[in-house]
């Protein structure tokens, strides 16, 4: 159960989603993305058969526990895995450029992909202090991208950098443009990261948990800023997060990941109203609002039965038992089966497919569970 404000925001997102044309061309169409890494213990399959679409001007949230493969997915799309990891990336990622041409991000040569990064698509990283260069001013770092992709001279690029700082609402931008990352607060550094990502007006923004290290007030400001910039520019956003409250307020669609696979996709409204996969149900059950909802429903049920309960004890938050299985030795069937209270013998025999429940609009309602038809 969400708070009233969160529920209102989720309903608004659902209304906006309903107004989108069902057959619009996706900005990004990812098909069967798989990524593995070489380790001392053998090759690890971090992401397996991941598919999703992001429509122009829309936000898709990639949700899951730490280690579920969210960041690996985003880095695979950007081609930013370290060479020492010996990453093997397979699948397709069709991306529509500004001029209408479509390219497969996973098939591009390094030089062509580098030309797109920071220009057609950009990324806001999770920790700005480790992502910004400590020996360059923030203005120089923004200007570098502008000079590379927009062809401006040094003075023009620095002026553009100042305008970008003003766009992300950094006070005294004329002064801040000449300051170093360590001279700025955490919220300001994250705004600089957004300014750097938005400098060349990308059509796709990948935000990898951009508010994790920020306090709640600054987090709200950053998310509101990203929402405003999206409305002004029409960019698409892939939002990587584990915060379901943030998802309810700012995303249009959700893809839930577990152990490197997508287990459910839906619109924000549909997923919060009726989660189909047991893992999604478990995530929602961990929210404080869900415990409060059960308390209120129990009280209402007692009242309808003819009396008021004298005392309603506070319910403990639910928790998903167990731990995520090792990627080096995954279970033979559904990866969530060892932790699932609804599992059947067939769940541990083979990996379920991703069944499409509704393919008429974006996002398609999909669930990777043999009990999807009966889960509520």
Q: What is the mean pLDDT of residues 138-143?
A: 96
Q: Which residue has the higher pLDDT, 180 or 131?
A: 180
At residue 5 the predicted structure's pLDDT band, cuts being 50, 70 and 90, is very low
| Count of the separate structural domains present in the chain | 2
Give the CATH number, domain containing residue 102: 3.40.50.300
The per-residue pLDDT for 7 is 45
* Boundaries of domain holding 1: 1-120+202-300
Question: Would residue 367 count as lying in a domain?
Answer: no
Cβ atoms of 164 and 202 within 8 Å: the answer is no
Question: Would residue 113 count as lying in a domain?
Answer: yes
Q: What is the mean pLDDT of residues 258-266?
A: 95
Give SS3 for 257: strand
Question: Would residue 293 count as lying in a domain?
Answer: yes
The per-residue pLDDT for 11 is 47
Cβ atoms of 69 and 46 within 8 Å: the answer is yes
Whether 15 and 56 share a structural domain: yes
Question: Would residue 318 count as lying in a domain?
Answer: no
Q: Which of the listed residues 250, 278, 300 is the one where a domain comes to its end?
A: 300
pLDDT at 216 over 70: yes
Whether 217 and 99 share a structural domain: yes
Q: Rounded to whole angstroms, how far apart are CA atoms 88 and 317?
A: 40
Q: Which of the listed residues 177, 201, 225 is the one where a domain comes to its end?
A: 201
pLDDT at 304 over 90: no
Whether 188 and 208 share a structural domain: no
Whether 177 and 278 share a structural domain: no
The per-residue pLDDT for 68 is 92
Question: Would residue 351 count as lying in a domain?
Answer: no
pLDDT digits (tens, 9 = 90+) for 241-256: 988 888 888 999 999 9
Q: Rounded to whole angstroms, how far apart are CA atoms 141 and 144?
A: 5
At residue 220 the predicted structure's pLDDT band, cuts being 50, 70 and 90, is confident
Cα 50 off chain centre by: 13
The DSSP output letter for 319 is -
Whether 197 and 212 share a structural domain: no
Q: End-to-end distance of the chain based on CA atoms, in angstroms?
A: 14
Whether 239 and 274 share a structural domain: yes
Give SS3 for 208: strand
At residue 295 the predicted structure's pLDDT band, cuts being 50, 70 and 90, is low
For the full predicted model, state whether its pTM sits above 0.75: yes
Whether 115 and 209 share a structural domain: yes
Question: Would residue 338 count as lying in a domain?
Answer: no
pLDDT digits (tens, 9 = 90+) for 46-77: 999 999 999 999 999 999 988 899 999 999 99
């Amino acid at each position: 159960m969400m708070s009233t404000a969160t529920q209102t925001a989720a309903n608004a997102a659902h209304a906006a989603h309903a107004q989108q044309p069902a057959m619009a061309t996706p900005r990004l169409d990812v098909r069967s993305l798989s990524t593995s890494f070489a380790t001392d213990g053998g090759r690890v399959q971090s992401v397996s058969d991941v598919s999703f679409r992001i429509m122009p001007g829309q936000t898709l949230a990639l949700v899951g526990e730490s280690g579920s493969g969210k960041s690996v997915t985003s880095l695979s799309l950007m081609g930013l895995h370290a060479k020492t990891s010996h990453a093997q990336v397979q699948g397709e990622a069709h991306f529509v450029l500004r001029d209408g041409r479509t390219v497969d991000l996973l098939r591009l040569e390094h030089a062509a992909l580098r030309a797109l990064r920071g220009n057609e698509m950009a990324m806001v990283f999770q920790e700005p202090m480790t992502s910004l260069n400590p020996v360059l001013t923030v203005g120089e770092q923004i200007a570098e991208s502008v000079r590379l992709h927009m062809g401006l001279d040094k003075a023009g690029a620095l002026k553009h950098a100042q305008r970008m700082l003003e766009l992300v609402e950094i006070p005294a931008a004329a002064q801040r443009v000449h300051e170093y990352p360590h001279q700025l607060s955490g919220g300001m550094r994250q705004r600089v990261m957004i300014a750097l990502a938005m400098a060349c007006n990308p059509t796709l923004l990948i935000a990898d948990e951009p508010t994790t290290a920020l306090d709640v007030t600054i987090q709200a400001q950053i998310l509101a800023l990203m929402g405003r910039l999206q409305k002004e520019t029409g960019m698409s956003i892939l939002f990587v997060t584990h915060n379901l409250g943030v998802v309810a307020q700012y995303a249009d669609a959700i893809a839930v990941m577990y152990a490197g696979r997508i287990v459910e996709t839906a619109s924000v409204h549909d997923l919060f109203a009726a989660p189909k996969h047991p893992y999604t149900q478990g995530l929602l059950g961990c929210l404080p609002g869900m415990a409060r909802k059960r308390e209120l429903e129990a009280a209402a049920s007692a009242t309808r039965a003819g009396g008021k309960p004298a005392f309603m004890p506070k319910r403990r938050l639910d928790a998903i038992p167990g731990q995520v299985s090792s990627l080096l030795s995954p279970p033979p069937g559904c990866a969530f089966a060892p932790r699932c209270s609804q599992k059947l013998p067939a769940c541990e025999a083979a990996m379920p497919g991703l069944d499409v429940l509704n393919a008429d609009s974006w996002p398609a309602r999909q669930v990777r569970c043999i009990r999807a038809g009966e889960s509520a």
